[in-house]
């Protein structure tokens, strides 16, 4: 197959890319990377010296594509399918990218701050930073709840890049800052995401690794 995805099945950002691949049944070869394995880590660093996954390698086009949003846009351009992740209309495309950035920067990254702190050795925790991250997530829930009151997906009726970003962000954020009864629209949206076949498949494949999740 032309496409190879370097990833880990528990990684939240890898989930975002996997959702896009599964949405359109895009053929690819999964290459699981254990960052604790020196050889596998070296292979990833050779592709992308930043050393973070996911990374997409397109053998046919001789391209290496890092970063989830860029990978999904690349798939939209060069391996399109029934689901188009970026709307053709320029204004809607901009709004889609804004929501993608919102979920990545203001839900996903604060969630990772909380989870990452749990992995620190005793005496090196950052309770102030964790409290800030949790407050950010809670604030975002309120914003999302209002926005999702009258729509099915992040951009309305069409599943887009924004939903690929929202799915892993909300799934894991709910583990560290429960959505709660006050944000019923967020809860309903998360349930729709989990029922989406592409995301349901991602979750099923990740199940054997959930025990590795801290807390």
88-138 tens-digit pLDDT: 999 999 999 999 999 999 999 999 999 999 988 888 999 999 999 999 999
Full residue range of the structural domain in which residue 138 is found? 90-196
* pLDDT, tens digit, 9 for 90 and up, residues 128-187: 999 999 999 999 999 999 999 999 999 999 999 999 999 999 999 999 999 988 999 999
Same domain, residue pair 94 and 192: yes
Same domain, residue pair 158 and 109: yes
Same domain, residue pair 8 and 94: no
Q: What is the pTM of this model?
A: 0.95
Q: Which CATH number characterizes residue 47's domain?
A: 3.40.30.10
Same domain, residue pair 9 and 64: yes
Torsion of CA 48, 49, 53, 59, to 10 degrees: 10
Same domain, residue pair 71 and 123: no
User: Is the residue at 184 inside a domain?
Assistant: yes
Q: Which CATH number characterizes residue 191's domain?
A: 1.20.1050.10
User: Is the residue at 145 inside a domain?
Assistant: yes
Same domain, residue pair 192 and 95: yes
User: Is the residue at 146 inside a domain?
Assistant: yes
Same domain, residue pair 98 and 57: no
d(CA 202, CA 167): 10
Domain total in the chain? 2
Same domain, residue pair 57 and 147: no
């Amino acid at each position: 197959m032309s496409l190879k995805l370097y990833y880990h099945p528990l990684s939240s950002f890898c989930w975002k890319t996997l959702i896009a691949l599964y949405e359109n049944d895009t053929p690819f070869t999964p290459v699981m990377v254990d960052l604790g394995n020196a050889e596998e880590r070296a292979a990833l660093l050779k592709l992308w010296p930043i050393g973070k996954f996911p990374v997409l390698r397109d053998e046919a086009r001789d391209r290496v594509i890092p970063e989830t949003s860029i990978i999904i846009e690349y798939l939209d351009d060069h391996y399109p399918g029934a689901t188009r992740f970026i709307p053709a209309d320029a204004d809607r495309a901009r709004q889609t990218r804004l929501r993608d950035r919102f979920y990545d920067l203001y839900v996903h990254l604060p969630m990772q701050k909380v989870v990452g702190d749990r992995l620190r050795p005793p005496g090196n925790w950052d309770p102030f930073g964790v409290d800030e991250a949790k407050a950010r997530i809670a604030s975002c829930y309120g914003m999302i709840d209002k926005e999702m009151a009258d729509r099915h997906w992040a951009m309305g009726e069409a599943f887009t890049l924004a939903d690929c970003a929202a799915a892993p962000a909300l799934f894991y954020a709910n583990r560290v800052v429960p959505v709660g009864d006050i944000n019923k629209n967020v809860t309903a949206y998360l349930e729709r995401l989990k029922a989406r076949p592409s995301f349901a498949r991602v979750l099923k494949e990740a199940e054997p690794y959930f025990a590795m999740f801290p807390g």
